[in-house]
Structure 1
Amino acid sequence: MDAMDVLEEDLIAEAVSAIETEVETYVGTHKLTSLIIPFLVTLILIIIGGYLMKKHSLITSNKRSFVICGLQGSGKTNLFHLLTNGKLPILTVSTLEPKSGDLLLNEEFTNHKTFQDIEIIDFPANSKLKNLYLLPYFHDKINEIQGIIYMIDSSNFDTKSCHQVAEDLFEIMNITEGKPNGIDFMIFANKNDLFTSKKTNKIKEMLESEIGKIHQLKLRSLNNVEDTDDDKDNLDIATKDGKFQFQLLDGNVDFAEGNIFKDKYSKIMDWLYEKIVN
């Protein structure tokens, strides 16, 4: 039984206890027949069960999934709307829980069986919510994930944001590289046409350097403690002569640039279709 199952059972148990107490109080006050109690409890449990099933449906989905993640302000939620609705939302707010939707296909692919049941999932960027939703999803559904799109705001990519992205990718890739052949990534440099934007080759260079530093620190800390499954190092294969390199990972890592706010995201669509076919 995993942590999500335990959480659901605890929620249901608490709900049942509260419901029974309230119903007994109500019955005692209004002198209703005891036959009403099981009916009311059953009805409310159905409502609670429906809510929990909807809330955690991402964990039980059988569709082939592509995950969108990234830092706040990178444009990931806007990309989610483009890929599922074909247009940008009028207003976006920070994502507080995962959102899923079917990939909106070009007309030429709509009747092809290969392209059916493709799900796009947008995960919250907040670090606490990431630990609540994103990392457990990777652990539980590693075999259903077809690819990961990691969004970067290239117009605001400095040393601080590079470190944040590197920590994110290190944590995610340490999970995905535990799968045979890994999982493919598309690292998309959004807003690349702005004056302050960094090009993908520079972003790649900065990230490899920063992930390498994080990896070395991780190794030093592991040498001082007893190894556990959670501490398993799956990125060692991507380190050569002390330097981390994306090209050495089992999963392919592609870099692309564009601006989703100006309808320049065809490289993402091409990558998605390629991964679906292959």
Structure 2
Amino acid sequence: MDDWIRQAELWVGQAESWIRQQPPEQIYVAAAVVAVTILVLIAASCLKSSKPNTIVLSGLSGSGKTTLFYQLRDGSSHQGTVTSMEENNDTFVLHSEQERKGKVKPVHIVDVPGHARLKPKLDEVLPKAAGVIFVVDAQDFLSSMQAAAEYLYDILTKATVVKKKVPVLIFCNKTDKVTAHSKEFIKKQLEKEINKLRESRNAISSADISDEVQLGVPGEAFNFSQCQNKVTVAEGAGSTVQIFLETKVNAVLGSPPGPVWCIHKS
């Protein structure tokens, strides 16, 4: 122990001698660098520990995203809502929890317009997402199947979504209509279309898809269970939509109640 103490005293003496030999300006700069480094590390630690609370509503135009946004916010159906060219972006307590006693956490919902020209808006919000709800029009699915698959493919291959294991809920909307397709049918068709996209896009130079992660298992037909992040398919319509989606949003954010919707807590 005495040897360790003597060695420590020697190191301290050498450090003091070196400091005395340095210009005062250099000492100040070194101290400032150390202070800034400590502050950056503390800030990074705080940001890393804070959980994102953004849920992204995505999908093609006309799928019903905006109506779902208003149902989550204030419980209204907002009949007559037209296709939006501007995103609906708001932070609020879910409608079903407004009467709940105790501490209720607000959630940030972003309804991204589905028009192709506005796709950059989706790229802006995905890195902040805790979960993604991809809305599909179950009644008009066949006519928009290819476009929906391309949109969903872009989400599932986005590096920020895959690396953070952001859960994705494919929500088949308007299933109360007689001509609506079932979630099982929609799931299978989307998997087939995405498999075609995967094969064609894998032939593209990696330099052109630097922000993409390849989907599935090489040599096997694609299915959603192969995704690195959890992908769930569900359906709903009418008054059941609001309660159903609220439980899913709560599950993603780690707030009770509600069944687990592909939760990944980082």
- C-alpha deviation, 1:253, in angstroms: 1.1
Would you say 1:67 and 2:45 are equivalent positions? no
**CA RMSD after TM alignment:** 2.2
Q: Please list the CA deviations of residues 205-244 of structure 1 after superposition, one character each: whole Å capped at 9, or x if unmatched.
A: 000110010010001223xxxx3274354133x2353311
Tell me, yes or no, if structure 1 residue 263 matches structure 2 residue 247.
no
1:157 maps to 2:164: no
The C-alpha deviation readout for 1:178-216, integer Å capped at 9, x for no partner, is 543421111111111222111111111000110010010
Instruction: Find the aligned partners of 2:100 and 2:214 in 1 and give their Cα distance.
Output: 36
Instruction: Indicate how the Cα distance of structure 1 residues 104 and 116 shifts in structure 2: closer, same or farther if over 3 A, else same.
Output: closer
1:85 paired residue number:
74
Contact 1:177 1:250 in 2 (8 A): no
Classify 1:72/1:116 alpha carbon distance in 2 versus 1 (closer, same or farther; 3 Å).
Answer: same
Are residues 1:276 and 2:246 paired? no
Does 1:100 find its partner at 2:89?
yes
Spell out, residue by residue over 1:101-124, the C-alpha distance to the aligned partner (whole angstroms, 9 max, x if none): 224332465633xx5241011111
Q: Is the 8 A contact 2:93 2:105 kept in 1?
A: no
- Counterpart residue identity of residue 156, structure 2: M
1:206 is aligned, of 180, 189, 200, to 189
Question: Does residue 174 of structure 2 align to residue 191 of structure 1?
Answer: yes
Shift of 1:258: 1.1
* Alignment partners' CA distance in 2, 1:203 and 1:125: 19
Distance verdict in 2 for CA 1:233–1:102, change over 3 Å: closer
% same residue: 26
The alpha carbon displacement at 1:173 in A equals: 1.4
Supply the AA of the counterpart residue of 1:257: E
Consecutive unaligned residues in structure 1, runs of 5 or more:
1-61
Q: Counterparts of 1:215 and 1:232 in 2: how far apart (Å)?
A: 15
Is structure 2 residue 196 aligned with structure 1 residue 246?
A: no
SS at match of 2:163: coil
**Aligned equivalents of 2:196 and 2:182: distance in 1?**
22
Following the alignment from structure 2 to structure 1, what is the Cα–Cα distance between the partners of residues 99 and 230?
27
Alignment-derived partner of residue 200 in structure 2: 217
Partner Cα distance (1:212, 1:79) in 2: 29
Q: Match for 1:171 among 119, 138, 154? A: 154
The question of whether the paired residues in 2 share the 8 Å contact of 1:177 and 1:251 is answered with no
Alpha-carbon distance in structure 1 between the residues aligned to 2:222 and 2:163: 20
Aligned to 1:126: 115
- Counterpart CA distance in 1 for 2:212 and 2:108 is 29
Check 1:110–1:253 CA distance in 2 against 1; reply closer, same or farther (3 A cut). Answer: farther
Larger radius of gyration: 2
Write the distance in 2 (CA, Å) between the matches of 1:195 and 1:217: 35
Distance apart, 1:125 and its partner CA = 1.0
Secondary structure in 2 aligned to 1:155?
A: coil
CA–CA separation in structure 2 for the residues paired with 1:145 and 1:78: 20
Secondary structure of 2:73 counterpart: helix
- How far has the Cα of 1:94 moved from its partner? 2.0
Distance in 1, Cα, partners of 2:98 & 2:73: 14
Matches of 2:70 and 2:98 in 1, distance apart?
18
**Residue 63 of structure 1: how far off its partner (Å):** 6.1
The structural deviation recorded for 1:98 is 1.5
- Decide whether the 8 Å contact of 1:75 with 1:151 is kept in 2: yes
State how far apart, in whole Å, the 1-side matches of 2:183 and 2:79 are: 29
TM-score, normalising length from structure 2? 0.69
TM-score normalised to structure 1 length:
0.66
